[in-house]
Structure 1
Amino acid sequence: MKRLVLGVVVAIGAAVPAIGDAVAADCPAASADWAAPGPFGATVEPGGSAHSIYRPARLGDCGAHPVIIWGNGTGASPSTYDGLLRHLASHGFVVAAANTAWAGSGKEMLAGLDYLATRNGTPGDVYAGNVDLTRVGATGHSQGGGGAIAAGADARVDTTVPIEPGPQGEVRALHGPTFFLAGEKDWIVSPRTLVYPRYLKATHIPAVYGELAGASHFTPVGSGGGFRGPITAWFRSTLLGDDRAKAFFSGPNCGYCGDPRWSRFERDAG
């Protein structure tokens, strides 16, 4: 059952389950303004030749860190989204960003997970024991958003956030909660014909659709624009078990329900 609230479509009673075990309570405190920097200093380093790793400068302050794998838009590189990726690292995530302008297959993104698994299992490595391979999210922009959907079919990926995604990947192959993000003024990846229909196909999983008011296709570039806070809240909810973040998506009066930042916001319990 759905209703219209202040021009925003929401599904009544839908909830997005947290994958984590509320580990956020054991981490340094973060502001509930999810667009604000997190409690960790962030650093970036090469992940071999194929990836750039954005991570907390000091690992292990709250146990092993969840992983986010990232895919760039066509023609772009991780540096194109440097502010957004550093922001996610500041909130306690280890981000493996594929150094490719063609991330649509999802394979390059998943290779970042393989890289971190090797480092995590190498005694004496700075990553050893500090990467939680049981808490993995996939996200990316444009072609990389399609790549995130493709990567999200992998059994190791728990949750997916396609940002203005291309046509790559099969939505029905996803198996974990998914947050589809679109831009109201995106003339390249139309929210109504290319993103919202993909959300509607996700009837087998908990799914959320968020269309950012006034956003263009290039709003996510740099620091993520208005997408930065919602992306962070989603991953803090699903991968860190942060109840404050979960409240933005869950319950009849969820924090994003009726929020004017969205031109459309819809939830489906799956």
Structure 2
Amino acid sequence: MKTTLLRFGLLGLSVPLAGCAPVGEAAMPADQAAARMASDAIPDTPGSGPYPASRDVRPGLPDHIVYRPRNLDALAGRPLGVVLWGNGGCSADAASARFHLLEIASYGYVVIAPGKAYSGPDALPAPPRETHSDGTFPPVQTLPADLLSGLDWILAENERAGSPFYGRIDPKMVAVAGHSCGGLQAISVAADPRVATVIVHNSGVLDPDAFNPITGFSVAKDALNRIHTPILYILGGESDIAYPNGMDDFRRIDQVPVAVASVDVGHSATFREPNGGKVTPVAVEWLEWQLRGDEAASRWFVGEDCRLCRDPEWTYDAKGL
């Protein structure tokens, strides 16, 4: 039973989890389908950061959604960081974590997620995903290469005269992040030398002896050895079905600074809550520290009296910070 839970947890497809692509509305229990419909009806929010955010599809990158500050001039020369996001379930729903991503963008980041808006207001009809009788899932809808194509695009826009992003991006401020199967995508591309930090939500690499139901994409434990930047795991407590895998990754990583913060919210995390809920400030502060060198943000993670160390809702551990 444990192996079954772990295998389903990394795809986020056995049950309709926030940030994950469900197998279809018909497969959802009625209360969960109603909750999803209620969440989808909520308009986009601008985030609580200093730069109200929005999302759109940009020319030249039609198969991604770009989350960004609405008024780029309001940054007044402050460089934009970049966050590449892996969707839960490795799905093509680039709006599945929209409140979380808008919140990050409101702090001065361009966040790029592969796919279309298959949830939220005016969502497109989602492509069907049905389970197979052998326990495997149909091929993933996005791949790690899709995260890197978003990076290629934004760095080219940074160099293109006439682009709204021209000269606004700091190419040294690049993070990869993702939820569940999307977290595995983040781990998969973390070796790219352009990446400066990694955030993994509710995920961890499967044990090599465990059954892997993912079709079309895999990542092995040795990918952890190729991580060259600080990395943060944000887990959902012991009820998070990816918790054992994430904690195992934390124990294995020793070549770079690594931290793990866990709060008892389960595998779904809090992405559908206002501004992404309680997990999002942790991600924002990590980005502010790792990409901008913000000393106040660092105090969330380092020091005997660090913010996460003394918050009774969270359990926290770190190595090498």
TM-score category, normalised to shorter length: 0.7 to 0.9
Residues 64, 131 of structure 1: 8 Å contact kept: yes
Note the alpha carbon deviations across 1:218-251, whole angstroms, 9 max, x for none: 1243243321110111001111221111111112
SS at match of 1:249: coil
With structure 1 as the length reference, what TM-score do the two structures score? 0.80
Aligned match for 1:200, one of 251, 254, 257: 251
AA aligned to 1:210 is A
Partner in structure 2 of residue 216 of structure 1? 266
More displaced 10-residue stretch of structure 1: 78-87 or 164-173: 164-173
Residues of 2 paired with 1:117 and 1:217: CA distance?
Answer: 33
Partner in structure 2 of residue 44 of structure 1? 55
Does residue 94 of structure 1 match 2:144? Answer: no
Residues 186, 198 of structure 2: 8 Å contact kept: yes
Q: CA 1:220 to 1:109, structure 2 compared with 1: closer, same or farther past 3 Å?
A: farther
Note the alpha carbon deviations across 1:176-206, whole angstroms, 9 max, x for none: 01001111144432x1x21100011110101
Partner in structure 2 of residue 180 of structure 1? 233
Query: Which structure has greater helix proportion?
Result: 2
AA aligned to 1:204 is Q
Q: CA 1:182 to 1:76, structure 2 compared with 1: closer, same or farther past 3 Å?
A: farther
Residues 136, 158 of structure 1: 8 Å contact kept: yes
SS at match of 2:297: helix
Residues of 1 paired with 2:114 and 2:105: CA distance?
Answer: 15
Q: Give % identity.
A: 27
Bigger relative contact order, structure 1 or 2 (CA pairs below 8 A, ≥6 apart) = 1
Query: Which structure has greater strand proportion?
Result: 1
Residues 144, 166 of structure 1: 8 Å contact kept: no
More displaced 10-residue stretch of structure 1: 124-133 or 36-45: 36-45
Does residue 144 of structure 1 match 2:178? Answer: no
Larger Rg: 2
Q: Which 5+ residue runs of structure 1 have no aligned equivalent?
A: 1-35
With structure 2 as the length reference, what TM-score do the two structures score? 0.68
Deviation at 1:104, TM superposition (A): 7.2
Residues of 1 paired with 2:238 and 2:251: CA distance?
Answer: 20
AA aligned to 1:124 is G
Partner in structure 2 of residue 171 of structure 1? 224
More displaced 10-residue stretch of structure 1: 94-103 or 215-224: 94-103
Residues of 2 paired with 1:162 and 1:102: CA distance?
Answer: 18
AA aligned to 2:267 is H
Does residue 110 of structure 1 match 2:148? Answer: yes
